[in-house]
Amino acid sequence: VVGALLVLLMPFIVAALGRDEAQGVPAMGWFVLILTPLAVWLVVALTPEKISPDVPGQQKFQLKEYWRLIARPSMGRIVLADLCLSLGPGWMSALYLFFFTDSRGFTTSQASALLAVYIVAGFGGAPLLGRLAMRIGKHRAVMVATSGYALSLVLLPFLPKGDMLIGAFQMFTAGFLAAGFQVLTRAMTADVADEVRLEQGKERSGLLYAITTLTSKISGAFAVFLTFTVLDRVGYNATDGATNSAEAVRGLEMAFLIGPIFFVALGGLCFIGYKLGEDRHSEIRRELDERDALYDNAPVIETLASEPSIPTPLVEPRKT
């Protein structure tokens, strides 16, 4: 969240330094390139990892295991939901500037400020939605967040045009709820990783997270292609400085609202009937902890077994 906010501020920082405003975009790229090694170091240095013991006798991983992981009912729901929950906000971001300037009457600077509010809202949204998930379950928290997000978008066309205060409140609400999408689906992926490790005896969390990350990348690329295709169909000209008719702007409004609302709502609907809830996961964790404790003590058992056996006197069984 901090990084996304700082990237948005780069054009303003460049302008304040007296440089050409067009240099703001290259400055964003250099910002990411310079801070990426630092971010990697922070993750490695500050996030210790406990190595889970493997269960002996398990076969090595094969490529077909990717499909087996995705085909699991719980993981399949998460993958589809993650795809939708990335595509919805990605669709919105691709059309955001056009919608808020041509439809809602904001200037480009005001629209950028509202986008900053949307991002900052994640500071509160992510942890509070996490606390909600601890009370009602992760999948139910996702359904609450997606329903609220869709409702916040439905209300956008009815708000006063160019009103920064109301616009900021609306964008804060949407950003607050959207912050929980990936946080909650990634936490649910960790639950699936526990379930897989209990069944297979191997740690597969890295592969599972790679799958969910892949869906986000696919949806991000697809959102840009899809949204501009839709804009072309409704007759909206996205070229800088172009003048669009009222009909084209209405088409823009429909495209901006229908896409994100549809995909985000579909992402929430994916978890109706979800089976890997808190009760089931607690049971899985209990069984894993018991098994891990057994294999953590395996070296001690092997050491004792390797010691010379001590003869014990034979005792005649007591008659009853």
For residue 287, tell me if it sits in a domain: no
pLDDT at 311: 40
131 vs 13, 28, 110, 126, 173, CA distance in Å?
36, 33, 32, 9, 17
| Residue 22 within a domain | yes
Instruction: Convert the pLDDT of each residue in 258-294 to its tens digit.
Output: 999 999 999 999 999 999 999 999 999 999 998 888 8
Banded pLDDT at 199 (limits 50, 70, 90): confident
* 183 and 262 within one domain: yes
- Asked if residue 202 and residue 97 are part of one domain, the reply reads yes
Based on the fold, state whether residues 207 and 80 are members of the same structural domain. yes
Tell whether 99 and 210 lie within a shared domain: yes
Tell whether 97 is covered by a domain: yes
Q: How far apart are CA 72 and CA 49, in angstroms?
A: 26
Q: Is residue 193 part of a domain?
A: yes
Q: What are the pLDDT digits (tens) for 32-45?
A: 899 999 999 998 99
Q: Are residues 120 and 226 in the same domain?
A: yes
Does residue 57 sit within a domain?
A: no
Q: How confident is the model at residue 56 (pLDDT cuts 50, 70, 90)?
A: low
User: How distant, in Å, are the alpha carbons of 44, 189, 304 from that of 204?
Assistant: 19, 10, 32
Q: What is the pLDDT of residue 195?
A: 93
Final residue in a domain of this structure, among 274, 289, 310: 274
Closest CA to 254 of 231, 237, 238: 231
Contact status, residue 171 vs residue 119, Cβ threshold 8 Å: no
Helices 2-16 and 108-120, packing angle to 10 deg: 150
Half-sphere exposure of 234 (CA within 13 A, CB side): 21
| The total number of structural domains that make up the chain | 2
pLDDT value at residue 314? 37
For residues 248 and 207, membership in a common domain is answered with yes
Residue 307 has pLDDT above 50, yes or no: no
Q: Is the pLDDT of residue 148 over 60?
A: yes
Task: Decide if pLDDT at 299 tops 60.
Answer: no
Where does residue 231 rank: exposed (0-12), middle (13-18), buried (19+ CB within 10 A)? buried
Question: Does one domain contain both 35 and 88?
Answer: no
Calpha distance 31→150 (Å, rounded):
33
Could you tell me which of 91, 95, 93 has the C-alpha nearest to residue 103?
95
What's the CATH code of the domain at 175? 1.20.1250.20
Are 244 and 236 a contacting pair, CB within 8 Å?
yes
Q: Does position 47 have pLDDT exceeding 90, yes or no? A: no
Are 76 and 220 in the same domain? yes
Q: Are 269 and 85 in contact (CB under 8 A)?
A: no
Stretch 52-72: mean pLDDT, rounded? 73
pLDDT digits (tens, 9 = 90+) for 15-29: 888 887 678 788 888
Task: State the chain's mean pLDDT as an integer.
Answer: 85
Asked if residue 320 has pLDDT above 60, the reply is: no
Task: Decide: 105 and 161 in contact? Cβ < 8 Å.
Answer: yes
User: Do 95 and 150 share a domain, yes or no?
Assistant: yes
The tens digit of pLDDT for each residue in 74-102 reads 999 999 999 999 999 999 988 998 999 99
Please report the pLDDT score of residue 308 as a whole number. Answer: 43
Indicate the residue type of 240: D
Q: What tokens does 274 get? A: 């979800």
pLDDT at 226: 86
Is position 172 within any domain? yes
Flag whether 16 is in a domain. yes
| Full domain range(s) for residue 9 | 1-39
Same domain (yes/no): 148, 18: no
Are 156 and 263 found together in one domain? yes
Q: Tokens 């069944």 map to which residue?
A: 199
Cα 157 to Cα 84: distance, rounded to the nearest angstrom: 23
For residue 267, is it within any domain? yes
Residue 55 predicted with pLDDT over 80 = no
User: Which spans in the chain are helix H?
Assistant: 2-16, 24-46, 64-70, 73-98, 108-120, 122-136, 138-154, 164-200, 205-234, 246-269, 278-296, 298-306
Tokens encoding 317:
């069984």
Same domain, yes or no, for 230 and 162? Answer: yes
- What is the band of 149 on the pLDDT scale with cuts at 50, 70, 90? very high
pLDDT-based confidence at 58, cuts 50/70/90?
low
What average pLDDT does range 164-179 have in this prediction? 94
More confident residue, 204 or 147: 147
Q: How far apart are CA 207 and CA 69, in angstroms?
A: 9
Q: How far, in Å, CA of 248 to CA of 250, rounded?
A: 5
